[in-house]
Each structure stands twice: as structure tokens, then as C-alpha cells.
Amino acid sequence: NSDFHYHGFGRDGIRYLENTSTLYFVDNHIKYKDESLYKYFENFISKYPNSNYCVIGKDINETKRLLNDFNPVGIGEVKIYKKYYDSDNIMREYSNIEFLKELCKLDNDLPIFLHYDITTYNYHTLEDIIKYNQNRKFVLCHCGMNEIFNKHVAWDVSRKLQSKYSNLWLDVSWVAIEYFENNRKNLSNLDNCRLLLGSYNNSLNQD
């Protein structure tokens, strides 16, 4: 089986899967968001140059460098909006919509894989970007779901967005896998089915 969302390399080394269609992402934990990611790509690609992978840097300049030096199939996973509990169990919020706007200006047609935790009130800026960049494909990872917000709401919003914009794809991985295991009939509500399926596993965790 293909895994279209696999964080197979990063700070913890490389765990290569013997499936040639696996889509690789760097394991870019938000805890280390200010650290350069270039060396992880350099190491992985030197060992597995024929792999399918996406690139993302710590900022727009490093992302441009990665795009210039390597030959990815996409951009991401870029974290745009995320709410989470840190290692001290304190709730944190991360937001960087400007990064996504800069990525949309790049002179290429690569799809952008993005992490955006969706609620009933916060998706309008994202929708505007999707709407005004019709020539760019976007993949909303985890169908916009996370561990904190209401997953039913995220699914309702993400499927409505996909029905409106043909350049939006959805990614079923991480918490979205468990959601659809428990709500299987909800996938039938997707009017225009453009889905990628992945595990969200990384080089340490293979659950």
C-alpha cells in the first residue's frame, strides 16, 4: 500500500519504506520551528534520490533554496495554523498565514500541503487564498482536523470548501484516520472526491 503522508526523515534520522510510491515529508516538529531543515533534506535525498518528496524550509528563503537545489513533487507540510499542547501540557497556538501567502507567489505549479486546524470561525483567510490562487493545488492535511477542535466541524467545513474549489484536495491521515474509522458514512458526503491517504507516521513512530 502507498503512504502519501510519511514523515520519514528529520532530526531522528531516516526510516525508509520499501514502497516506491511513498510520499516523504521532513519531520518538522513545531518545537524546532526556528531550526534549519536543509541538512535533513540534503542527507535524505543523497541517499534516496529517486524518492517522491515534498520540501519545506524554516522560512520562505530556505524553502526557495530547497526548491532550487532539489526536485520535489510538492511543497510542505507547511504549518499555517495549529493549536496544541506542549510537552509541559500547556496549550499553545501557532499561526503563520504570511508564510502561505509567500509560498503562493513562487514561480512554480507545485501543490502545497498545509496544516491548518479548522474551526467554524478561522477558515475564511484560508478560503480566500484557495479562491484567489486557482492555478495552485492545495492539499489540506488531516482534513483540517486536530486533537483539540471539533472534528465534525472541521470535516463539514473542509468538504464544503472542496465542493466549491476544484484546486483543493484533502488528506486523510493522523487524527482523520480515527475519525473516519468511527464515522465511516461521512466520506459519502464528499461531493467531489479528491483524497490522498497517509499514515502521518515518522522515522520513530510506526503505529
Q: What is the DSSP string of 38-94?
A: HHHHHHHHHH-TTSEEEE--SSHHHHHHHHHHS--SEEEEEEEEEEEE-TTS-EEEE
The pLDDT assigned to 205 comes to 67
Asked if residue 123 lies in contact with residue 95, where contact means CB atoms within 8 angstroms, the answer is no
What's the pLDDT tens digit per position in 79-92? 999 988 888 889 88
Q: Count the neighbouring beta carbons within 10 Å of the beta carbon of residue 113.
A: 25
**Between 199 and 160, the higher pLDDT residue:** 160
Query: At 194, is the pLDDT very low, low, confident or very high (cuts 50, 70, 90)?
Result: confident
The pLDDT assigned to 200 comes to 79
The pLDDT assigned to 105 comes to 97
Asked if residue 116 lies in contact with residue 144, where contact means CB atoms within 8 angstroms, the answer is yes
Query: At 131, is the pLDDT very low, low, confident or very high (cuts 50, 70, 90)?
Result: very high
